[in-house]
Amino acid sequence: MMKGATAKKSSAKDTDSTSTSELIDAKIQELGDWRGKMLGRLRALIREADPEVVEELKWRGVPVWSHDGIICTGETYKAAVKMTFAKGAALEDPTGLFNSSLEGNVRRAIDFHEGAKIDEKALKALIRAAVALNTSKTKAKSKSAKRTA
C-alpha cells in the first residue's frame, strides 16, 4: 500500500480506525452543497463502472480511485468538481468529456460545474477504458518478468 490513508473499499482501516470510504463519505457530507452531491454521484459511477476499485485519500484529503494504478482523482474547488484521469491523454474520448488539462502530455480532466448534467454512459466507458489501460500495463509487466525469470 502507498503512504497516506488507504483502503480497499471499506475493509482495511487506517490508524484512526476509520475506513477510507468513511472518510470520503465525511468529505462529501462536509461539503454540504452541490459539490458534495456531484462528488458523491461521480464516486457512485466509478464504483458501478469498476466494482473492484480501490479508494484512497492522498494529497491532503483528495479522493483517489485506483485499479492497478490511479484511475482518477476527485478534487473540489469553489466553482467546480474536477475529475482528473491520471493517464487521460492515452484514452479515447469519443464523446468529448475531457474539458480541462487538455494541453498536458499525460493527464486529462473533466470539470463539472453547478447544474451540470453527467453523461453517465460515456463517463463509465471512460472509467472502464482507464482501468483497461492500467491492467494492460500490469499484465505486460508480469509477462516481461516471467520471460526474464
The cell numbers describing 121, all together, are 454512459
Residue 149 lies inside a defined structural domain of this protein: no
For CA atoms 122, 92, 48, 35, give the dihedral sign.
Answer: negative
Q: What percent of the chain has pLDDT over 90?
A: 69
Residue 116 lies inside a defined structural domain of this protein: yes
The cell numbers describing 129, all together, are 477504458
Could you say which DSSP state residue 118 is in? Answer: P
CB 100 within 8 A of CB 109: yes
Residue 63 lies inside a defined structural domain of this protein: yes
Residue 127 lies inside a defined structural domain of this protein: yes
pLDDT beyond 70 at 12: no
The pLDDT of residue 59 is 86
Residue 1 lies inside a defined structural domain of this protein: no
pLDDT beyond 70 at 37: yes
Euclidean distance between CA atoms 37 and 114, whole angstroms: 10
Residue 90 lies inside a defined structural domain of this protein: yes
The greatest distance separating any two alpha carbons of the chain, rounded to the nearest whole angstrom, comes to: 54
For the stretch 129-149, pLDDT in tens is 999 999 997 666 655 555 555
Give the chain's domain count. 1
User: Residues 89-92: contacts with CB within 8 Å, 24+ apart?
Assistant: 90/133, 91/126, 91/129, 91/130, 91/133, 92/129
Residue 39 lies inside a defined structural domain of this protein: yes
CB atoms within 10 A of CB 89: 16
The pLDDT of residue 83 is 98
Return left, alpha or beta for 82; rule: phi > 0 is left, psi -120 to 50 is alpha, else beta.
beta
- Does this model's pTM top 0.85? My answer is no
For the stretch 44-62, pLDDT in tens is 999 999 999 999 999 888 9
Beta bridge partners of 58: 62
Residue 98 lies inside a defined structural domain of this protein: yes
The pLDDT of residue 144 is 52
Q: What percent of the chain has pLDDT over 70?
A: 80
CB 69 within 8 A of CB 145: no
CATH code of 48's domain:
3.90.1150.200
Expressed as residue numbers, the domain containing 85 is: 6-144
pLDDT beyond 80 at 100: yes
The pLDDT of residue 16 is 45
